[in-house]
Amino acid sequence: MTSVANLTDPAVEEAERYTAHNYHPLPVVIAEAEGAWVTDVDGRRYLDCLAGYSALNFGHRHPDLIAAAREQLDRVTLTSRAFLHDQFGPFCRDLARLTGKDMVLPMNSGAEAVETAVKVSRKWGYKIKGVPDGKATIVVADGNFHGRTTTIISFSTDPEARADYGPYTPGFRVVPYGDLDALAAAVDETTVAVLLEPIQGEAGVIVPPRGYLPGVRRLCSERDVLLVADEIQSGLGRTGATFACDDEGVVPDMYILGKALGGGIVPVSAVAAGREVLGVLRPGEHGSTFGGNPLACAVARGVIALLETGEPQARAREVGAHLHRRLGGLIGRGLTAVRGRGLWAGIDIDPALMTGREACERLLTRGVLAKDTHDSTLRLAPPLIVTHDEIDGAVDALAEVLKG
């Protein structure tokens, strides 16, 4: 195995020595990036097919977003929510318009936005639905990934994410993803929300059967349960629509957004919902020091403006179709399955050939950054600005890697 990065680089040794080993990074030390490309400390260039787990949907250092950030850096960066600032109202208005919802609550990380959704759903359940105090349940899917807090890992089914972190937060029911009957059976009068990823990213870009999401929508409406869509990874253009739910004409009661909302510059997350839902919160009941700060709001407004042109979504559809056509040609030639939508693909490598990790290491030597998820599954999610030719380069590299 040839390794591209200079492993004697002090940056590698220092990262190994001084950091908790909660990640196992590929041996590449990035120094610069622009658009769909990153450059390492030795000047080698790589096509970024991970795009910060979709936090970089618009590419590295998108000029509009960098300009918005620069302009805001020169004005005001932090006020706390104790005061208003001139980006806050406009950001909330813009995101409400993009989501079609009445109200927005900004946070920072995705996990915080999921926590916010859990808290708001429970409060809605007690105050509006009339669930007996302390009895609220939320139904989630197996294989889910919603973040890393103690409550969120309490309903994870991934032993790596969950083991040794108990005691676990109660109030969650886990059902098989894509199984509407199982979901219907798990919902009862204590259920305040169904929390789902419309496409499961971390699990390997798992697309549920057609009709599942509309079925969940109907069930939630009939049983007075909130449908909460975690679109942190699937949303904001990745699948070729603004939200993955759009692909099936489904409108959830609450969107959870993050990752690309921060334009690859700052962490920005938010939940968006109707007034009857987010309106349950009163001053002092929930908050965040950095949530909705001026820099975050200015960058996120730039992100929303890009999405409102419809161009990132159109590119994800068009170039994504090309990606899936090309990947389909590798089935039986080292790949056993290809899933996904838009510029988002989960690919299963024949486990007899190599692990996902090995494939990523070999792709790295060919100038492609990708990340394995489970065992032999890779997730490909290049920035939405990627070109046909760049996709061809990446798929050609993958084809070579799969030849061994």
Ligand X SMILES: *Cc1c(COP(=O)(O)O)cnc(C)c1O
Active site residues: 145, 230, 259
Which residue, 220 or 257, is less far from ligand X as judged by CB?
257
Q: Provide, rounded to whole angstroms, the least separation between the CB of residue 202 and ligand X.
A: 6
Which range in 66-74, 142-150, 210-218, 330-338 contacts ligand X by CB under 6 A?
142-150
| 53 in contact with ligand X (CB under 6 A) | yes
Q: Which amino acid is at 330?
A: L
Q: Provide, rounded to whole angstroms, the least separation between the CB of residue 41 and ligand X.
A: 26
| 145 in contact with ligand X (CB under 6 A) | yes
CA distance linking residue 105 with residue 286, whole number of Å: 10
| 263 in contact with ligand X (CB under 6 A) | no
Q: Provide, rounded to whole angstroms, the least separation between the CB of residue 241 and ligand X.
A: 16
Neighbouring residues of 356: CB distance < 8 A, sequence distance ≥ 6 = 349, 372, 373, 374, 375, 376, 377, 378
| 143 in contact with ligand X (CB under 6 A) | no
- Out of 106, 147, 252, 264, the only residue in the binding site for ligand X (CB under 6 A) is 147
Residues paired with residue 273 on neighbouring β-strands, in sequence order: 103, 254
CB atoms within 10 A of CB 317: 17
Which range in 110-118, 209-217, 296-304, 309-317 contacts ligand X by CB under 6 A?
110-118
Neighbouring residues of 301: CB distance < 8 A, sequence distance ≥ 6 = 68, 87, 90, 91, 94
- Out of 40, 230, 348, 361, the only residue in the binding site for ligand X (CB under 6 A) is 230
Grouping H, G, I as helix, E, B as strand and the rest as coil, residue 404 is: coil
Q: Provide, rounded to whole angstroms, the least separation between the CB of residue 161 and ligand X.
A: 11
CA distance linking residue 7 with residue 155, whole number of Å: 38
- Out of 57, 72, 87, 109, the only residue in the binding site for ligand X (CB under 6 A) is 109
Q: Provide, rounded to whole angstroms, the least separation between the CB of residue 232 and ligand X.
A: 4
Structure tokens at 257: 């957004």
Q: Count of alpha carbons within 13 Å of 65, Cβ hemisphere only?
A: 25
- Which helix or strand (DSSP H or E) is residue 181 part of? helix 180-186
* Contacting residues toward ligand X, per CB under 6 A: 53, 109-111, 114, 145-147, 197, 201-202, 230, 232-233, 258-259
